[in-house]
Each structure stands twice: as structure tokens, then as C-alpha cells.
Amino acid sequence: MRFKLILTVNSEHSGNVLPVSYQYELSSCIHRILTDNKELYEQWLRMNGFLPEMSVKYRLLSISNFYIPKIKVETDRLFILSKRVQLWISCLPERGTEDFIKALFAGKILLIGDRHTQVELQVDDIIKTDMDSYPETLSYLSLSPIVFVHVRPNRSIEYVSPSTPGYGEILLDHILEKYRHFYGKDFSGDMNFNFELLSEPKRKGIFIKRFTKEESKIIGYMYKFKLTLHPVLHQLIHNTGLGDKVNLGFGCIEILE
């Protein structure tokens, strides 16, 4: 289930400058709002047959980057030159989700940024944009960088490019593992799978926990792609994201019209 949030930039309160790498701060803010009322959050998950611990290794939701119609970038700062921005939140649970999201986010103030610059945004509208059904073949674009991590034998980390041979198999293994994690069983549907890149991948280096002792840099890729997959698995990745690090604000995808 997917929702588009329309937000007003309250630049008169805190300015209009975000860090270029704001995904982690945005994801953390959204997760805090969702889980602030622990009883309500856990009730929503259990209503849909999920346990709270299921949303740790893999998240039951994904969050896009902001869509900002007009920006200016200077070094590591992003200047918002629009009064309104948009954000998409997708959730795998469906029962009671529309009421849950609207109750938590309607009129909510989001303060996003790092210790240098922050932007205050107010949620003005929440629009449900859910898919009625999923065909076997769909074209997607990434709304936030897609990350796949490979651990080498020496335990060092490699971020895998979509141009890497065998990338499609890595992607499929990830989807099937996520299904197994959420539903407690192997996927038994038809496996008519195909992955095709539709654009040149754009490499994005995103800083996490910037200006702290835990600062690190994650490499993801923005691209368009075509995927043939069982409709149930399309629904899974459309609502919970694709790849690793979804909990840090990566891997949100959208269907190409």
C-alpha cells in the first residue's frame, strides 16, 4: 500500500537547506513517527499477521527520497527552491494501514537534516496511490539509490553495480530471501524471471550519520529497469523496497507509467 505525502517547506522557521545526503535522517524521522506509539504500531503489525521483530532485518515499508521540483546544490548542501515537496511511503501491511498512516502523519511536522542545516516540513495532504493488481512484467525506476552489498572472503565490503554480471540473480535471491523472512516459507509460485536494465546506472555515494563517530559512506545506484516476476513478488518489492539498507532510506522503487 502506497501513500504520497505533500509537504510544505516552512523555510521561515529553519531555512531551506538540506544536506545532500539526507536519506538516513529522513528514514529515521519516519520510523520514529511510526513507532512512537509502540502499542498502536505493534497492534497494526499483528492485525496484518506480522511481528515487530520482522521489521528489523528487512523493513515492512520503504521510503522514497523527496521529490523537489527545483533545487540548487552547493558542495554538500541542497537548497530547496520550491514551496512544496513530495514523499512516498509504501507499506506491506494492508489492513488498517490507511487509517494508521493518516492518523500519524496528517499535519505532522518533520524536521530533517544534520547538525549543520535542517529543514522543517509540514504534511499538508496524504494521497493513497495503491496498485489494484500487478502484471508479470513491469518497468520500474528507483526513487532512492538501490544498494546490494557483497562481502568478500577477507570480510571487506563491495557495493555491486547493476552492470555486474549475475546482478539479476543477486536481485532475485534477495527478493526470495525477503519473502521467506516475512512469510516463514519458501516462495512456491511460478518463477518466470527476467531482469533488464533500461538506463545507464548513476552511481550515488551517500553519507550516513555525517559528522559523527559512526559516519560511513554507502554506494547505491539510480536506474530504470524492467522485471518479469510473479505478481506476489512484484507487490513485495513495490511496498518494501529492493536491495540492502532499506532501513537507512535506500531501495524505494516506483512503477514507470
Residue range(s) defining the domain that contains residue 114: 2-128
112 and 159: one domain? Answer: no
120 and 145: one domain? Answer: no
Ranges of H-type helices in the chain: 11-14, 23-35, 38-47, 54-57, 97-105, 167-183, 231-240
152 and 238: one domain? Answer: yes
pLDDT tens per residue, the chain (257 residues)?
999 999 999 999 889 999 999 999 999 999 999 999 999 999 999 999 998 787 777 889 999 999 999 999 999 999 999 999 999 999 999 999 999 999 999 999 999 999 899 999 999 999 999 888 899 999 999 999 999 998 888 888 899 999 999 999 999 999 999 999 999 999 998 888 999 999 999 999 999 888 888 889 999 999 999 999 999 999 999 999 999 999 888 999 999 97
167 and 122: one domain? Answer: no
109 and 149: one domain? Answer: no
Q: What DSSP line would sit under 76-123, residue for residue?
A: TEEEE-SSEEEEEEEES--TTHHHHHHHHHTT-EEEEE-SS-EEEEEE
43 and 11: one domain? Answer: yes
166 and 121: one domain? Answer: no
Type of residue numbered 210: R
| Domain end call among 111, 128, 145 | 128
Answer positive or negative: Cα dihedral of 231, 237, 242, 243: negative
Q: How many domains does the chain have?
A: 2
Instruction: Look up the CATH number of the domain holding residue 174.
Output: 3.30.70.1900
| Domain end call among 70, 101, 128 | 128
209 and 174: one domain? Answer: yes
Instruction: Look up the CATH number of the domain holding residue 94.
Output: 3.30.70.1890
| Domain end call among 97, 128, 159 | 128
